[in-house]
Each structure stands twice: as C-alpha cells, then as structure tokens.
Amino acid sequence: MVKDRWYVILESHEVPSGRPVGVVRLGMRLVVWRDEANLLRCTHDRCPHRGAALSLGKVVGGCVECPFHGFRFNGAGACTRIPANAPDAPIPSAMRTPALIVREAHGFVWLWYTDLPVSDPTLLPEPPWFVEIDETYVHASFSDDWETHYTRAVENQLDFTHLPFVHATSIGRGVPHRLDVITTVTGDRIHVTYDPATYDAKGFFVELIAPSLWRNRLSENVWAMIAFVPVDDTHTRLYLRFYQSYVTIPGLGWLVCWLSNRFNRHILHQDKRVVLTQEPLETDLRMGEVLVHSDRPIIEWRRWVAAGSAPRTPPAGDGG
C-alpha cells in the first residue's frame, strides 16, 4: 500500500448519525462514527480494555461506547469514562485506541493512510477529485465486492485492449483488435486514451488519480467514476458512480443515472469474471508477467506504486 495518500473507505450515507459502523479497510478493523458536531471520527475497532469490538456499541456524547463494559472513547482514541471506577478516579494513559484521520468530501469518507506522525491534520492536502465533475452533475452509485487485491482491480480499468474480447457483446463491439494507446503521467495522475490513428474514440479517455480514484469520459457531459477501496490483501470494494448533467430535474436525473448503472453493473461483472481468475492477486513491477507495448498504462501504474512504496523517513521536525 502506498502511504501518505487519501483512500475512500465508505460513502457518506453509510455512516448515519448516532450509530458506529465497523468495517475492514486497508487490512485494519476500524470503527467510524459521527460526533456531536456531525464530524466523522475513526479509531481501531478494538477496546483496549478486553478487546471487544467498539462497533457493536453505541455513540454517546460524541464518543463511541464499548458494548462490553461501557468504556467510552473520543475521536482522538482517548478513554473518557470507565463506569466501574469512581467518577474522580484517574483514567490510565494506556487506556486508548489508535485514532485515524478521516475526512468527508464529495459524498465519500476518506482515510489518510500513513505510519508517520501528523502534527496538524488541517495542513493535509484535500482529498483528490476531478474538477470537471462538479455540483451541476447528478449521480447514482452502487458498490461491488471483488475477491482480489485492489491493484488488480485498478489495472483492469487502465487496460484498453481487453475491450473487444471481454466486452465483445457490449462496449467492446466494434472496437478493433489492433489498438495503440497513449499514456501520460503527471504526478499522481495517469491519463490514457486511444491513438486516433488506430481508433477514433471521439474524446474518450480514462484517468486515474493514484492510488484509487478513476474516471472514464463517456461524452461531453457524462462520466463513469470508480473509487477503489482496499479492504485487505484479498478483497476490494468498488464504488461505481454514473454522473450526467443532461437531465437534472430532481428525481428524474437520479433515475436516469440509476438506469444507466444497471448497464454499468453488467459491464463491471464482465470484467470481474476474468479479473478474479488472475494470479497472483497483488501485482508488482517485476512479477514475471510478459507485458507488451499496449500495457504501457499498467507499467506506469506499477512504477507509481513501486515508487510510492519505497522506504520513507519522517520529515525533519515533524512530531505529535
């Protein structure tokens, strides 16, 4: 996993007020809840007292309360109440659970994945987004769970030359077998399109904001977008959204998106059927596969992951 990046872990609506939500994300058992100001909070889903899952408890006074003995923990992971002790009894400093930095943006819950200290979370960059997809668009979404590593799921959406084979009965119909792709890498962004000399895609392209946010330009005012959510080494959740701005009447616009997603789910499952057979589950820059020229987007993605996974040292002066 590439550290010091934002990862989508949930959609906002999946974390209601007044109830903790337990999930496994990036290989960690987490509990997410909203405090009294409706701000998202996240800690490890384990009470340091006796190891029970905090997500089975409830939210009280902005804290998550353990279902076993009623211990309460705030958004910083510190214990604020031990019911069995006297009210004025000191709380052991070790009675805390690791807290993580989460933020809400664009209808998603984002987690800052790092193993370095963050002295001031307000100085972190904003979660990444595509500026063209703004409030003028209506969208509908669905999620799909894949039994593979997130790197395989990402690579599938950077691969153009599988279209006439995997999607021969749908979006690949009419796409030639002979294709050249043009790949451009700018920082965390990998942009891929067809060479018009081999296929006129009429403005079609895909773009990945690494590590986990992808979009596909379908037309001037239509986008498909996927947030890849690493669950653990063998599971990935995909949140697929269909965005459009040609029908924006309340209710009707959402219905158009929902109907479009019925087709998008079919396309995604055509991919899924093949991708889940790929071994090994996690990909790497040097892993024994024999890649060819048209695999340039995948090579660039693997280079990005390899560079981001290199050993790191804390920046000078950072603490807390």
Phi–psi pair at 106, nearest 5 degrees: 60, 30
End-to-end CA separation in angstroms for the chain: 23
Evaluate whether residue 26 is within a structural domain.
Answer: yes
Task: Give CA–CA dist 319/119, Å, rounded.
Answer: 5
The pLDDT tens digits of the residues spanning 11-58 come to: 999 999 999 999 999 999 999 999 999 999 999 999 999 999 999 999
Residues 165 and 286 in one domain: yes
In this model, does residue 313 exceed pLDDT 80?
A: no
Residues 166 and 242 in one domain: yes
Task: Give CA–CA dist 50/62, Å, rounded.
Answer: 22
- Spacing of C-alpha 223 from chain mean position: 18
Evaluate whether residue 81 is within a structural domain.
Answer: yes
The pLDDT tens digits of the residues spanning 289-310 come to: 999 999 999 999 999 999 988 7
SS3 content of the chain, % helix, strand, coil (to 5): 20, 30, 50
Evaluate whether residue 103 is within a structural domain.
Answer: yes
In 3D space, the residue among 15, 219, 259, 253 whose CA is nearest the CA of residue 139 turns out to be 253
Task: Give CA–CA dist 124/5, Å, rounded.
Answer: 10
Residues 105 and 144 in one domain: no
Q: What pTM value is reported for the model?
A: 0.93
User: So what's the pLDDT on residue 317?
Assistant: 45
- 95 three-state secondary structure: coil
Evaluate whether residue 22 is within a structural domain.
Answer: yes
CATH code for the domain in which residue 59 is found: 2.102.10.10
Instruction: Please say which residue of 88, 120, 152 terminates a domain.
Output: 120
Domain of 56, in residue numbers: 5-120
Task: Give CA–CA dist 210/228, Å, rounded.
Answer: 10
Percent of the chain with pLDDT over 70: 96
DSSP for 103-159, please give it: EEETTEEEEEE-SS--S-GGGSPPPP--TTS-TT-EEEEEEEEESS-HHHHHHHTT-
CATH code for the domain in which residue 202 is found: 3.90.380.10
In this model, does residue 311 exceed pLDDT 90?
A: no
The pLDDT tens digits of the residues spanning 168-216 come to: 999 989 888 888 899 999 999 999 998 877 777 677 899 999 999 999 9
In the sheet that 108-113 helps form, which strands lie side by side, from edge to edge? 5-11, 108-113, 102-105
Evaluate whether residue 213 is within a structural domain.
Answer: yes
Evaluate whether residue 130 is within a structural domain.
Answer: no
User: So what's the pLDDT on residue 83?
Assistant: 96
Q: What is the DSSP letter of 71?
A: -
Q: How many domains does the chain have?
A: 2
